Amino acid sequence: MTTDRPSTDPTETSPEASPRACRKCATVSATSGDFCPQCGTAYERRRRGWRAWSKRRRIVVVAALVVVVLGGGGTATALKVSADRAEERRQAEADRRTEEQRQAAAERERQAQEEAEAEAEAAAEIERISREMRRELVHSLRKSITADARKRVGEGYLDGPILSTSCENSDGNETDLDAENGAYECLAVNIKHEDGQAEGYRFTGRVDYEDGSYTWRLGG
């Protein structure tokens, strides 16, 4: 009895097989298998990388990448916000220092103005007092001359009565506060006319503005 054995001839065809060439040994075989019957090499290369992944796996990877990208974008946004806030703080600090400097300058200017006003007021007060002292000195000079003239009338040297004494500054420096002294022409009046004219005895005087003293004498 003869038993039929499957053919091992690689070139033998099968109604369900189609000729396929091996990419390694170049043997053409009619087979429906995935491997070359001659050398065992797979007819098709295994897909590697992205194209070899299933659709589900691709979706998962893409989703993961989106999350990473969004997360990175969020981190970048957070970093930008942090940088913006830091810049705002630096600007606020710079504005604060600028305002402090402006206020300090304004305060210095105000103090300088107050000091200048105080100095001006002090100078004006000194001038007022100086002029008042000069008026008082001249007034005292007139009173002293009047008293002296009346004494001379009592002694018989002058004719009375002595009504008053008037004095005029003869060197024109009465209002000059830098002048140390001034000369005065004085008249001890004993006669007054209806027209306002007056007669009397001539005295000369000198006032020392610095030490507040004065002298006089009868005549020039």
Cα distance between residue 164 and residue 198, in whole Å: 10
Q: Which of 5-19, 60-74, 150-164, 200-214 has the lowest mean pLDDT?
A: 5-19
The total of other beta-carbon atoms located within 10 Å of residue 144's CB is: 17
Distances (CA, A) of 104 to 74, 77, 101, 114, 117: 44, 40, 5, 15, 20
**Cβ neighbours around 152 below 10 Å, total:** 17
Structure-block tokens of residue 94? 């710079």
More confidently predicted of 79 and 69: 79
Per-domain residue ranges of the chain: 15-45, 132-218
Looking at residue 67, its pLDDT comes to 66
Kindly state the percentage of the chain with pLDDT values over 70. 84
Contact 44, 36 (CB under 8 A): no
pLDDT in tens, 93-144: 999 999 999 999 999 999 999 999 999 999 999 989 989 999 999 999 999 9
CB atoms within 10 A of CB 10: 15
Average pLDDT, rounded, for the chain: 84
Could you report the per-residue pLDDT of 150-204, keeping only the tens digit for each? 999 999 999 989 999 999 999 888 888 889 999 999 999 999 998 989 999 999 9
User: Interior CA angle at 135 toward 204 and 121, to 5°?
Assistant: 145
Taking the C-alpha atoms of residue 196 and residue 54, their distance in angstroms, rounded to an integer, is 136
pLDDT at 47 exceeding the cut of 80: no
Residue 49 backbone zone (phi > 0: left; psi -120 to 50: alpha; other: beta): left
Of the candidates 140, 146, 137, the one whose C-alpha atom is nearest the C-alpha of residue 189 is 146
pTM of the model: 0.51
Contact 192, 163 (CB under 8 A): yes
Structure tokens at 125: 């007060």
Number of CB atoms found within 10 A of residue 112's CB: 10
Tell me the DSSP string of 24-56: TT--EEEESSSB-TTT--BSSPPP-GGGGS-HH
